[in-house]
Structure 1
Amino acid sequence: MECQVTFVEATAMPARTVLVTGGAGYVGSHAVVQLLSQGHEVVVVDNLVNAPRGNDAASPLTECLRRVQEIAGKTLNFHQMDIMDRSQLDRVFACYSFDYVMHFAALKAVGESVEKPLLYYKNNVGGSITLLEAMKDHNVKKLIYSSSATVYGTPQKLPLTEDHPTGVNCTNPYGKSKYFVEEILKDLVTSDKEWRAVSLRYFNPVGAHESGLIGEDPQGVPSNLMPYIAQVAVGRRPRLQVFGDDYDTPDGTGVRDYIHIQDLAVGHLAAARKLLDPCFQGFRAYNLGTGSGLSVLQLVQAFEKASGRQVPYEVVGRRPGDIAYCYSSASLAKRELGWQAQKGVDEMCESVWRWQSKNPNGYRSS
């Protein structure tokens, strides 16, 4: 791999140079739009295991990253590689002078993690360790980590705050892998005071960029609710399966905290400001959520309103490990990062429908 931009000419050097792992994925790509729009130089590394390439197989970019550049009006640097490959990581670090790293690269399907725990621990924990070793050796000791509310496991109290126990009641290997990496980061900042790490615990990201150019495009059968609803509405799937309608909730279906993807992306820039503050030290975790919950059927109804389409559904049995309620308190992020979610369920559903109707087959659309 050569030390050069993979395509087109580089733009003028911005104030910060950021390595984004997993930047071709759903959350990562929206964060990259924000970074580019704010004038940062962005280097994306991604193995593309969860990033469909699109129609132009000859392009060095995924279709997603091509559209990211179109939205931002800026270019980025892209290297297709796996973060578990230390030699390739070293080459990337040797090519650029990074100010900090945003780490999104991970496998993320809860159900798959139960079936393939070793794969998830190898990728999510092992890959993070390899990245941290490379960062240490190249003296880049600032990290924003893409974590998850799954680190809390089964809630002992609601709303979930950052002081809620983590790791004790994790119900799947995906959540445990996120928890283990947070523990590694805590130990790392304790051992070396030069390290700084911010962990962002997402609740349920939904939505798409307002342009309709980028959005969530899961491989195979969606494991998350919103893309499943959207694919039913656009005619790709016959009906939605609702897992249980006998919970102790207003309509019997599970209640979750859904956050617009663009609010989530803005949260990463707020976290970066915190990370780069000379007064910040050590490790800090923040919830990124709205602080309130929506049931499955409330989300279905909101999507039907936004799309003008019916979303047929059938109720099936509960899934093991599912709970009635899960929602956040995001007051710490508001207080310390100056961040809070701005977009409601109507904007979430409207943006997803704009994305899905413009791209019925995702990034593979002609």
Structure 2
Amino acid sequence: MILVTGAAGYIGSHTCVSLVQAGYDIVAIDNFANSKPESLRRVAELTGKSFPVHAVDMLDAEALDQVFGAYDVRAVIHFAGLKAVGESVAQPLRYYRNNLGSTLNLLESMERHDVKKIVFSSSATVYGAANEMPLKEDMAVAPVNPYGQTKAMIEQMLRDVASAVDGFGAALLRYFNPVGAHPSGRIGEDPQGVPNNLVPYVAQVAVGKRPEVVVFGDDYPTPDGTGIRDYIHVMDLADGHVRALDWVLDHAGTEAFNLGTGRGSSVLEVIRAFERASGRTIPYRVGPRRPGDAPVSYADPSKAERVLGWKATQDLDAMCRDTWRWQSQNPNGYDPA
């Protein structure tokens, strides 16, 4: 059994589909703070396979340990955590308590039940305000907000456990900017409230839920003046987790892997791609820069290709087409209209 924490979330739910399709048996846990049980019901519908789902808050060590006691867990894929950068700056203690406390409970349960393999959902935010591009795994880890700090601290926790525990293996997956949705349109990103990320915001403008996109700055030193990011299709990302799991089951120690495409797209390029995908005009206006936003950020994903045999295959147009299919079929996300 593979235990998937935060399984009902955006990346977790898509990875559950890929895991089941790859032949893995899974058990899913989530506290549904920022997600809906409906996403996992649809995962079962898409894969044609049912799997156990437990509503567990990982800060409840006893409840978490009961899950380990009930199943023969071979490995863990750890998605669970709070993930909004701005919110983490406003509520740092909440982020440290939740993200670090839940992971400590997880690692202690793993130790008690002799589970030595984990794939961790890290983030490119661990690189902080690095100016050198592309970002490589051996660059300094220097996050600039509490969310990124929790990811960096958990990476260090896993390195320390791997040094202390014989046979312990951890893959640290540093994602860039996940977008898109399952091609069926049945599962996708369902942000609560105002989306923090560009693509779901653009999608809500396209579907008529929001009046316009605000472009934060058009005076960056980039070809069109807007910020450039490395967007990756969520199904490519899900496949990366399956490859990382395959790898970690046969390896000890810790390795970090960038999961990105290796090329960046500007804000205006994303808006134009979404216009092509939706056949609609996306109104936007230019606002001031956001403090802390880097002009350019993109991955060097060559290590993941070399070690895991993984490479992103889907382009920005595919990401926008699949996002639009999900958004137009589910204008209210997983909530019924």
* TM-score, structure 2 normalization: 0.99
Aligned-partner Cα distance in 1 for 2:131–2:322: 33
Aligned-partner Cα distance in 1 for 2:223–2:95: 35
Q: How does 1:2-81 map to 2 (within 5 A)?
A: 17-52=1-36, 62-81=37-56
Amino acid at match of 1:110: V
Amino acid at match of 1:200: L
Q: How does 1:147-226 map to 2 (within 5 A)?
A: 147-166=122-141, 168=142, 170-226=143-199
What's the counterpart of residue 315 of structure 1? Answer: 286
2:246 to 264, 267, 273: 273
- Tell me if the contact between 1:18 and 1:40 (Cα under 8 Å) persists in the aligned partners: yes
1:310: how far off?
A: 1.0
Aligned-pair RMSD on alpha carbons?
0.8
1:315: how far off?
A: 1.1
Amino acid at match of 2:21: S
What's the counterpart of residue 340 of structure 1? Answer: 311
1:298 to 266, 269, 294: 269
Is 1:331 the equivalent of 2:302? yes
Is 1:141 the equivalent of 2:141? no
What's the counterpart of residue 14 of structure 1? Answer: none
What's the counterpart of residue 56 of structure 1? Answer: none
Q: How does 1:70-109 map to 2 (within 5 A)?
A: 70-109=45-84
Q: Return structure 1 stretches of 4+ with deviation > 3 angstroms.
A: none
Aligned-partner Cα distance in 2 for 1:146–1:239: 32
Unpaired runs of at least 5, structure 2: none
1:171: how far off?
A: 1.6
Amino acid at match of 1:265: A
- Tell me if the contact between 1:37 and 1:74 (Cα under 8 Å) persists in the aligned partners: no
1:194: how far off?
A: 2.3
What's the counterpart of residue 263 of structure 1? Answer: 236
Aligned pair count reads 337
What's the counterpart of residue 55 of structure 1? Answer: none
Aligned-partner Cα distance in 2 for 1:211–1:261: 13
- Secondary structure of the residue aligned to 1:343 is coil
Amino acid at match of 2:44: Q
What is the identity percentage for the equivalent residue pairs of Structure 1 and Structure 2? 55
1:39: how far off?
A: 2.2
* TM-score, structure 1 normalization: 0.91
Question: Residues 116-167 of structure 1, C-alpha deviation per residue, up to 9 Å, x if partnerless?
Answer: 011111111111111101110111111000000000001131100100101x
- Tell me if the contact between 1:229 and 1:300 (Cα under 8 Å) persists in the aligned partners: yes
What's the counterpart of residue 249 of structure 1? Answer: 222
Aligned-partner Cα distance in 2 for 1:255–1:174: 21
Amino acid at match of 1:294: S
- Secondary structure of the residue aligned to 1:217 is coil
